[in-house]
Amino acid sequence: MVGHGQAEEQVRAPKGRGRPRSFDRATALEKALMAFWEHGYEATSVSDLTRIMGIGAPSLYAAFGDKRTLFEEVVQVYGATHGAFTDRALAEEPTARAAVGRMLREAAAEYTDPAHPYGCLVVHAATNCTSPEVEQLLREQRNANITALASRIRADVAAGLLPAGTDAAALARHTGAMIQGMSQQARDGASRAELEALAEIALSIWPQD
């Protein structure tokens, strides 16, 4: 799922004792993504990453920089792959309500998919984090999603698709709270069907035009 032109890229570690080691950068990055998603930023050590990624520390630093720089790249990849359903819904659906409905239903499916860790990396990766930069990175990501949704809601109000008195900011934040809550529910064992039921309840409060 990760690539963006990097699937064939080979990164070679600096020479040291023994032969230099080459590896597929995209594959290593996906493994790092899964580790951060499962355990969070703080609990995932550099030694964990080198073991999971199958590379030595010199190769990790040469290819990705330090742990925080690697994590920043992981967040970008996550947003373009596993977390891309939110942007796609906003871009492709004809109304904000339709976009939110699709977003919530796809969140129910994505967050409970056993092929990868449950929930959302952007919601959970900063749990117990002592790095203000990492906390800020994920907070800005979550807030950007809410801002984009609020903008879309305001556009629907201006177009007469939603009532003039609709509180776009509150409605967008309600959706953000639902998505973040669904992520935690998935981590706690909620099923896809249970989360889809929450999505329908969330849609029921939307104002009618």
CA dist 81 and 88 (Å) reads: 11
For residue 209, what pLDDT is reported? 61
For residue 22, what pLDDT is reported? 66
pLDDT, one tens digit for every residue, the chain (209 residues):
333 443 333 444 444 444 445 678 899 999 999 999 999 999 999 999 999 999 999 999 999 999 999 999 999 999 999 999 999 999 999 999 999 999 999 999 999 999 999 999 999 998 888 899 999 999 999 999 999 999 999 999 999 999 999 999 999 999 999 999 999 999 999 999 999 999 999 999 998 76
pTM of the predicted structure, to 2 decimals: 0.85
